[in-house]
C-alpha cells in the first residue's frame, strides 16, 4: 500500500491538494485491489457520507495522472482502479469477472521492439489474459455432470 508521504509528495509536486476526500479514496484503495468507482464510493462514504461519485472520478483521475493508481478497463466492464507503482498485467475471468495481477517481464522488450520499429514513441502496453479461472472451471465441470 502507498504511504501518505509518497502520496503527499506526488500531489504537491503537481498543483493538487491532499484533501480529506482524496485521502479517503486512497485508504479505500489501500486494502483492496481492482475496485470499481462505485465500490470505492461505498467505502469512502462509510467513513465520510456525502461524498459524490463525481469527486471519486475526479480523484481517481488525478491519482492516475500522477502515477499512483493504475486503471484497468476492458470492453464494456466498468473500469477497475488499483493503487500500485508496479508494472503488471491482468488475467480476467469471463465468468465471475475476477481480476488477477500477473507480472510478465518478457513483454516490455517485445512491446518496445515492435513499437519502435513502427516509429511509436512514449510507449505503454497492456496484456490481458481472458479465460475461466480455476474456481469457475471447477464449478462449470461439476454443473455439467
Does 38 bind DNA (CB under 7 A)? Our answer is: yes
> Which DSSP helix (H) or strand (E) runs through 140?
helix 134-144
How big is the chain by its Cα radius of gyration, in Å? 18
Q: What are phi and psi of 83, to 5 degrees?
A: -90, 100
111 binds DNA (CB under 7 A): no
Q: How far is the CB of 23 from DNA (least distance, A)?
A: 9
> How far from each other are the two terminal CA atoms of the chain, in whole angstroms?
43
Work out whether 130 is an interface residue with a copy of itself (CB under 8 A): yes
Among positions 108-127, residues that touch a copy of itself (CB under 8 A) are 110-111, 114-115, 118-127
The one segment of 19-27, 107-115, 123-131, 136-144 that binds DNA by CB under 7 A: 19-27
Amino acid at each position: 500500500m502507498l504511504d501518505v508521504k509518497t502520496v503527499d509528495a506526488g500531489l504537491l509536486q503537481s498543483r493538487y491538494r491532499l484533501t480529506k476526500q482524496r485521502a479517503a479514496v486512497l485508504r479505500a484503495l489501500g486494502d483492496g485491489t481492482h475496485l470499481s468507482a462505485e465500490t470505492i464510493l461505498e467505502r469512502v462514504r462509510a467513513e465520510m457520507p456525502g461524498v459524490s461519485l463525481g469527486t471519486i472520478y475526479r480523484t481517481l483521475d488525478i491519482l492516475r495522472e500522477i502515477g499512483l493508481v493504475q486503471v484497468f478497463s476492458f470492453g464494456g466492464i466498468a473500469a477497475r482502479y488499483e493503487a500500485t507503482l508496479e508494472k503488471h498485467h491482468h488475467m480476467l475471468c469471463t465468468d465471475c469477472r475476477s481480476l488477477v495481477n500477473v507480472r510478465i517481464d518478457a513483454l516490455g522488450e517485445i512491446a518496445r521492439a515492435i513499437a519502435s520499429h513502427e516509429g511509436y514513441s512514449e510507449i505503454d502496453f497492456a496484456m490481458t489474459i481472458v479465460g475461466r479461472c480455476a474456481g469457475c472451471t471447477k464449478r462449470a465441470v461439476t454443473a455439467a455432470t
